[in-house]
Amino acid sequence: MRLAIVWLLVALGSFTTLGAAQQPSLVGRQAPGFVRSDLNGKRIDLGDYRSKVVLLNFWATWCSPCRVELPTFSSWQRRYGREGLRVIAVSMDDDSAPVGKAARKLHLDFPVIMGDEKLGNDYGGVLGLPVTYLIGRDGEIAARYEGETDLEQLEGKVRELLSLP
């Protein structure tokens, strides 16, 4: 029985590694475009954010690290918005009702759109949450952060992209 479990774990590990190896990094490439409506019905076109630094965060209401990060991203939107930062949150929840409730509770002051499998796949496969992309003013992906992120490090990269000291 133990041997069967070990072989299963090895097989799963190989499959996961193979899948990750086949998934090319998007860092250094143009961010995949999208047009979605936010929770308020406003049209959000990533192409309209050219010349801005975009923090694109994939999250879900059930994700604890996500609920920690999002208010910080709101404070960055207020602090760095004049310098050109734009935050867009992509909820990977199935239903928008709890997303709207969470967005109000967290006082999110940036667009929240609903994601799906296609959008997740366009961004390299969003299998775990949170996943955050930083997109430069030229539309090129500058960085990808997976899981609970060191927010000081992330803010440093935001400041670098905004050309702030």
Residues 83-118 pLDDT 10s: 999 999 999 999 999 999 999 999 999 999 999 999
3-state secondary structure 95-121: CHHHHHHHHHHCCCCCCEEECCHHHHH
CATH number for the domain harbouring residue 32:
3.40.30.10
Residue 4, in any domain of the structure: no
Does residue 135 lie in a domain region? yes
pLDDT of residue 20: 35
Residue 15 domain flag: no
For residue 140, the enclosing domain spans 26-161
In a domain, 145, yes or no: yes
pLDDT digits (tens, 9 = 90+) for 11-46: 333 333 333 333 568 999 999 999 999 999 999 999
The model's pTM? 0.86
